[in-house]
Structures are given as structure tokens and as C-alpha cells.
Amino acid sequence: MDAAAIVIGAVTTPEASRKRKRARQACDHCRAKKIRCNGENVNEPCPNCIDRGNVCVTTRNSRRVPQITSAVPAPTNTDSPAPPQDANVTADSGLSADSVFVHDDNADTTEQEEDALHVSPDALRERSSILPSDMTNWEYHGPRSFLSICSRPAVKWVSEQTGRLDFSETASQFASDISRRLKMDADLSVARAPEPGAETAWRYTEAYFSTALDASLGVLCRPWFERQLSAHLAGRLCDSGPAWHALRNVVYAAGCRIELSKSRLFKEASQQAWLYFENALAVYARLLFYKTSIMGVQALTLMAYYTQNIGTPCLEYMLSADAARLAFAKGLHRAAPPFQGMTEQDVEQRNRIFWAIYCLEKQIANQSGRSSMIDDDEVTCPLPRMNASGDDAFNIAYCDSLVRISRICSRIDKRLSAVQCSTMGPAVTTQVVNQLHAELEGLKNLLHDKYKLHLGARIDTSCLPKDFRLDQLVYLQYTYLTAMLNVHTIWAYPWFRTLVGLSTEDKYRDHILRSTEIVARTSREIVVMTEHINFRAQTTVPVAFFAPIYAMISLFIYCLDRGKSSSDLAMLDIGTGYFARLGIDKEFALYVPFVRAITSLAYGLEGSTHHQEPIVRSDAIEMPNLGEDFWQTSLLDADTLMQLEDWSTFSRTSPV
């Protein structure tokens, strides 16, 4: 039976002496609280809702109504939503003149109520919800994410610099395209895919351990997994639990994707591998809410790494969060207590699992501009220190390097978060930027001395450092270079300078110039390094997409802020060509229009004004300075927080 929701404002009848009528039933709030509803007139909110400041809503069962002939033809599409109500209608204001529902005591059902019977269930639910339905499809991206280019201050600045007001549409579409990949488009298949036969299972296992990037971090000990798999395929293994089911299927998925991409199209390999991943995802709840285990942590971690690539929906944000939570529940973030009696190999494996989760979670926090859920001050788990034994896939040099870079990334995200910067003030922010830059330089020197790595320098494929594959080097380089961008974009992006109070002063000019040049130089290195990216189904999003798009956006901003040069325009052309190549036969083609748009805007600037305009101009962007009082507030109030969130980006996860 259809239901119609009647929203009652705080209104009174024109005739004060009019006889009150009892409401036919209790309002939704009173029914939910199981308290007596004392409302007497359906045109007025009940006393309980008035006392609590609630909007009094009564969901009523509709009755059969006589046919009403209207002067306006009824819409033929019965599923179309009703016109939106006035946003200014609240519990203490009267219903607006154009509200959908207006109750009339002289008739059982008014013309407006009849229209309500034809409204879709989604529209009815929205009228009683806290947030409108379109907000439930949106994703939050922090002010320090690469998507800050789509925030309101950034769009305003770009539009003023280029004279193109349509950039807001380009930015909005780009942000929506990004968020659409963060969720699955369809439900899981009802039927589970059959697992591969023994020969195929071994081939996929070999492909995973020998090729997958995350296999180098040692989440799985290869000899142990192969013993388990051998027993399983022979029917000797008694473990039928969800953890082992998920673990072997995610290995099948990763190996299948690698193996099939050698001979099939990118999309075909990804689709076949996804069926095995669905097998693992089918027991997701059981990994978390039933009997849990370290094996469950391993399964969730590999599932998160599996989705961090260009061939699948990017589900790693939630998967890594659950992997981290379960790891905390198992105490993996702490040093192993001696009384547990674990062997040295067991302790080492335990440490490898945690740090693999740590690196992924910090990468995602960096990429999204959202807060990390791992507090470094609570981590006492030792770093991995043992070399791989036998044919294990673990790579101590790669793992140690990535963990060290990730730990600095964590400090960068924490100390230069938007909220931190907005409370520190320019002087302290300058000190923090210098300290973090020095840490990155120190780490670069350390890893050069230890592993002969040349972080921040171009890769020479003819003489790779010992014990490193090319894909490992590219991942490390991009992690390091994007960390450098995160340190210096706080000064290099004009709307960030406004955020920290530099819109009308230039006493930090030298610091800003230095950061701006570092961002430009780093961005150029990232763009040039795209020549080493091989597009395979297992190629990761941080390498194939995040670092290159971050560099393209930063270089574009540099051209607008400091003036274009022929070499930087050439770099933008290289980046545009890279994304066009990425878009061939891959789902990342939808990002090409944005890259082309910013390159075109850079070309459209009048003449070359390279290094001629002052770096800080009071008239460069008309946005309110947050004011001196902003820096003196230890706890931000609601108004200040709302100002700060203007720098954030919300984007839809699905098209409307």
C-alpha cells in the first residue's frame, strides 16, 4: 500500500475558535519513541515535536480517493519525483506557498495529496531524511587532496586567471568521474565462480608471487601458502573457513589478472579475475564478524591491494580500513609479547603483514586527503629485517624503503593537514615545511647509501639498483615525489596560501618562491617518468593515475601562477599524450577530457609571463582572509569550520 508523508510546520488555523480535530494516528517521532502523541490537529505539530524542535511528520496509509479533475493535466510518468520543497521551511516556520503538501480539513484528500500518491518511494523517503538523496551519493575529498583543484576557491581562482567561467563544469565532471570508480556499479553475482583446477591454480599462484607488486611486501609467506594450497587441492586440508577461502581466491584473482593479460585484452583479463575476487568478497562479513584470525587479516590486506589497480573499482579505502582494524584487534601494531612463544620467523611474518597494511593505508590517506586511521604514536611493531628465505617473494630492500617513505608521508599528512595549517599560522607552517623537506632529503641520502637508490632522479633502465625491479622503482619514486608535492603545495597553490593567511602579505615571498619552484620541478620529473609505466591489468592506481594527474594539475597551476614557458607546455603535452595512451581500451579514458582541458587553458594564456608577476598579490583572488583571530583559536568553532570546508571537494559516486 502506498504511503504519503505529511510534513507539518508550526502553523495555526486562521480561525482560532475552530474546533480541533484529533490526528488520525501518532506522528512518526512519537511512534518511533513509543510515546503518546498529543497532537490534536493534523495542521499543527504535536507538543512532543515542538518541545524537541523536531519537524512533525505523519506517515499515513493512503485511502482510495475519488477521481479529481484538475485544471492542470496530471503527469503521465508516475515515477517522476515531486517538485522540491522550499529549503527554508523548518519546524518553526510556516509551510511555503509552493509546498507539495497542504492539508485541508474539509476534504479527505486534497489535490496536492493525490499528487503525493504518485511520487516515487525515494522521493517520499527524502522528505523525512536528514540529508537529501543527492548528498548520499557524494564522496568527501580533503582540502589537501589532488582534487582540491575542484574546490570552490580553486575553481574561482582558475576561472579568474583564465577568463573561462566554464571551468567549474569541467572540474565538477572530473571530480564525479573520479568518485564513480570508488564504488561498484552492480551487485555481486548470485552464483559463485568455480575455482580453477589444480594446474591453473598453480599457474595463477606462480604469477602472483613472481609478478604482483604487493607480493614483494611479504603479506604471504610463499612456502607456507604453497603447502596450504597443495593440501587443499589434494583434499587433505580440513580448513574450510572463510579466511582460507578468501585468501586463496584473492591470490587466484591476482594471478589470473596477471596471467591472462599476457594474451588477452585488458578488459577481458580484469573481468575473468573479478569473478575470483567476488568469491573472496562473498565472505567479507564473515572475516570480520565471526571467528577472526591472522589469516583473515592477510586476506583483507590482499583484497585491498588487489583493488588498488587500474582494472577494478577502487575499493581499497574501505578494505584497508577493515584490514587495519582487524590487525589492531589482533595486536599486530604492537611488538610481539615474549610470552606468546612465537618463533623468530613467526614474529617476522607478523611484522611484514602489519607494515604492508600501514603502507597502503597511508598511501590512501595521502591520495584522498582524508585522515589516516593509524596513529603512529601507538605503533611499536618492529620493521621487517630478515631477508627472504628460499623462493619467498619478499623483498627486504623494497619493503624497507617503502615503509620509511610511508612513515614520512604520515608525518606530512598529520602536520600539514588543512586543519593544522589553519591553526598554526604562516610562521609555524613555514618551519614545518622546512623540517619535512629536510626529512625527505635525509631519507633520500639514507636510501642511496643503503640500497643505491636515487630518489627524485630519473630512472636509468640500463643500470637498475640491485634487488629492485623496474615497477618497484617507479612505485618508490612516485611515492617519494608525491610526498614532496604534499610538503610544498601548501605554498605553491594560491588558494592554499589564502587558507593560511598569505593573500595580502608577502613577507614569506622567498619561502613561497622556493616551494613553487620545487613543486614545478617535481611535477616535471613525474611527467617524464611516465615513460616507464607499462599498462597491464595489475598496474597500480598510484603509479598509473594518481602521481601523473597530481603532477599535471600542479604544473598547470604553476603556469597560471608564475607564467607559462615553452618547456612546461611541452611537459603538459607529454602528460596529455600519456593519459590518451592510458585511455586506449581502458576505463580511464573518461579522465582524458580534463587533462586536455587544463593543457588547453595553459596554452590559451596570453603570451609568456614567466617569473614576471609577483608571487603574492592582494588582488589575485577575491576570497576572504580567515583573519588574525582564526590563528588564535585553539578549538575551531562552527563558523570557522564551515569556512575551512570551502576548501574541500564533494563529488558524486554515481551519475544523476
DSSP string, 113-165: HHHHTTS-HHHHHHHTSSS-GGGGGEEEE-TTSGGGGGSHHHHHHHHHHH--T
In the predicted structure, residue 74 carries a pLDDT above the cut 80 = no
Q: Which pLDDT value is given to residue 231?
A: 94
The secondary structure element, H or E, covering residue 411 is helix 396-415
The whole-angstrom separation of Cα 193 and Cα 218 is 27
Whether 511 has a pLDDT exceeding 80, the answer reads yes
In whole angstroms, what is the distance from residue 652 CA to residue 656 CA? Answer: 8
Q: Sign of dihedral through CA atoms 156, 161, 163, 166?
A: negative
Q: Is the pLDDT of residue 610 over 70?
A: no
Q: What is the dihedral of CA 621, 625, 626, 632, to 10 degrees?
A: 140
Confidence band, pLDDT 50/70/90 cuts, at residue 611: very low
| Rounded Cα gap, residues 372 and 410, in angstroms | 8
pLDDT at 184: 79
Q: Helical H runs in 212-343?
A: 222-233, 242-260, 266-281, 284-289, 294-306, 316-329
Domains and CATH numbers, the chain: 24-57 (4.10.240), 128-182+395-603 (no CATH), 194-394 (no CATH)
Highest averaged pLDDT of the listed ranges 40-49, 142-151, 207-216, 416-425: 207-216
Binning pLDDT at 50, 70 and 90, where does residue 211 land?
Answer: very high
Instruction: Answer yes or no: is pLDDT of 634 > 50.
Output: no
